[in-house]
A and B are shown apart, each in its own frame.
Chain A
């Protein structure tokens, strides 16, 4: 009972801990298009209450110089909320090796908004994420992915059926039985199963070539073009095959992820109206299908007019997309403009998935600088906690902590 009381007291106290008024003296305010203006801003509990020139600091406000105010970041490729630790086992819902379903599996059903990683990652200014499963077994189809906000609340899945996820390239060849020809055959057959759903499955539950009835029904939303088909692919030749497929199945709305060799076919990608999620730090030929990987891949996409988003696509970057700003910032080194870099981790992917949440992040410096961090955040007017499991560990073991009690009592 005593414990219960203590816990509830902490919960009640929590909001007060970050209730605050900030006076941002001569802040840089960034809009959804990435344009910057200078202004004085008053932020109360994470929400902008006034913005103008030569404002006076309210008496109760903490004054901060050189702050930046931006919309929240959107992680364009993640498995947030699907796993506690990366290793396989019951704590990891990223893929389902032994299931008999694929597209019909919704990542949203696995998503845990209370995962400690949600609050950990939110500390980096990330307010929204795409949550994607991974393929396994003998299907190139990983499942149906979700769009979530990082409030940590039970209503934070904004769209549980946001896109269908497919693995092509070397992963796809393993799934399909050993070759690109097999994975492409599986993809084409699945498109026909879903397109011809009513004809094929009406009187025969096993009427499809590669998809079960429930998977074909789930995939049908993507083949109709109601939701995007998100495909992991890297080799330029594979991207060209996808462009051919899209030429025939015109209603498909494709987003390709990885796209290490996209620079080699950037104009064809733009002409086919395919969107791209790219990692601007990928420059090693870590597989033969990424032999052409280069740091300025994203610059080719920008010049060709491709609609692109930026993500950290390494294994760690997908499970914990904490370094979006570092990845976008490095694209500036290659020649991308600040606003293109910033929108590629915020409004661009956010618009792809129709996210309209209003978000405000106050940073202690340029958000694309690795040395900057958020000071306060809000989503739809709700102040977001600036604490997390990582910060609790930090505070407990901080060498500046003068608490001499045994560590479990600090």
Chain B
């Protein structure tokens, strides 16, 4: 290994290295044996970012400090022992933050161009499709991945759509150049299960055998959790049982191996879902969209349930009519795990601006949230809700060096990422013009030449 390790490298960093070299086969036995991650970081150089304004994602803002990047990992943040002869990058006065994580993306499964042939995000053939995997519908050539990277997105979670009660498994991806989805899969990140509340399932299936109402939605969840519990009992006993992909996903949820990511808008429905989870003894990790989460902040905090929200989207259907711009800060102020999400190929490119809007509106309403606290909505809390906080989401020694160096303030319209690193490798650099370009972009007008 030609890269010099810092003198004191935390144990956790070494553990993470080992995990990366030999993809794990532990978590859900037979189910993860297929489609293993083949992600390998791009080559990186050890570097010391000097004199940075650091927002670390843990709650701290360091006015001036250094960040050591070594072997693709974070060596230290603030101050620490500087290896001899290390390359330095002076970022005096510039913000350095963790890479942004979007927990709700359809990049790749609803890619650009959005032709019908590309619509691979909703297996809208039955309300119960827990057997499908988002990764089997992800087109790695979606130009949206490249634009998202330039907005600072280093990790993103691709979910099936919300047509179904049980939509299928979501997948966590590294935003890297790969011609396969396996090459993007975040090593050892847990699978998730997309579920959906409310209007979508009843609209899609209302004239196709149901559910046709919210009553039918809940009955549909319960019937299938009952089946899953009995499948799990058989599986736990060992011996002979017929493998069932649909129930396997649900049983893995009951075993705590798969995290529930649930599309739900209304406050009353979210609380019903929390009761459903109690009935069948599983955990809802995150409510997505959660437009009325601000009405049930204390309930979310008490059940340790996260909410992934927009800054200012709403009223595009009845269940989003009560949108307010203070949703994220109010949920945060209630002590619950709040975060931004995009659900959109444009919005994902400026999630820092979305957070800045929510943050300023929250403070205008009388809260007193610092930038360093609000930053958690961009990387820390999404990492927690995806089960990858041990590896990324904050600037802490031993974690993957997923880092953004900014031009300007990330809480300003004018602040934009100028350098984006994944595992310490620079994948976007505004000054040198380094940026990824999907195969799809080839042969079209050269977009690099500026106006005269």
Contact = CB atoms under 8 A, between A and B. Distances in A.
A333 B413 contact: yes
Contact of B313 (A284, A291, A299, A316): A316
B99 interface: no
A371 B360 contact: yes
Contacts of A292: 444-445, 447
Contacts of B452: 303
A400 B366 contact: yes
Nearest to A392: B324
B321 interface: yes
Contact of B324 (A316, A373, A394): A394
Interface in B129-185: 143-144, 147
Contacts of B353: 326, 370
Interface in A275-301: 281-288, 290-292, 294, 296, 299-300
Interface in A28-62: none
Contacts of A290: 113
A264 B416 CA distance: 26
B318 interface: yes
- Which among B334, B360, B440 has the highest number of chain A CB atoms within 10 Å? B360
Contact of B147 (A84, A283, A319): A283
A87 B317 contact: yes
A117 B320 CA distance: 13
B268 interface: no
Interface stretch (B55-63, B189-197, B221-229, B325-333): B325-333
A322 interface: yes
Given A390-B324, A397-B295, A86 B356 contact: no
Contacts of A205: none
Q: In terms of DSSP, what is the predominant structure of the interface of chain B?
A: loop
A364 B363 CA distance: 13
A400 B447 contact: no
Nearest to A399: B333
B370 to A, nearest CB: 14
Contact of A390 (B143, B323, B349, B364): B323
B366 A330 contact: no
A252 B449 CA distance: 33
A326 B346 contact: no
Given A320-B315, A390-B324, A399 B330 contact: yes
Contacts of B324: 390, 393-394, 397
Contact of B361 (A299, A303, A314, A373): A373
A400 B367 contact: yes
Contacts of A407: 295
Contacts of B241: none
B357 A285 contact: no
B440 A285 contact: yes
Interface string A369-410: 111110000000000000000100110011110000001000
Nearest to B295: A397
Contacts of A314: 346
Query: Interface size for chain A: under 10, 10 to 19, 20 to 34, or 35 or more residues?
Result: 35 or more
Interface residues of B, number: 53
Contact of B360 (A84, A87, A373): A373
- Main secondary structure, interface of A, reads loop
B94 to A, nearest CB: 16
A303 B449 CA distance: 14
A329 interface: yes
Contacts of B320: 85
B451 A370 contact: no
Contacts of B440: 285
Interface in B345-375: 345-346, 349-350, 353, 356-357, 359-361, 364-367
A263 interface: yes
B22 to A, nearest CB: 37
A369 B367 contact: no
Nearest to B114: A286
A315 B297 CA distance: 29
A390 B297 CA distance: 18
Nearest to B297: A399
A329 B414 contact: yes
Given A371-B356, A371-B411, A398-B330, A300 B451 contact: yes
A323 interface: yes
B25 interface: no
A370 B315 contact: no
A263 to B, nearest CB: 7
25 contacts: A84-B315, A85-B316, A85-B318, A85-B321, A263-B451, A282-B346, A284-B345, A288-B113, A292-B445, A292-B447, A294-B447, A299-B450, A299-B451, A303-B451, A322-B312, A325-B413, A329-B413, A329-B414, A370-B356, A370-B360, A370-B412, A390-B324, A397-B294, A399-B297, A400-B367
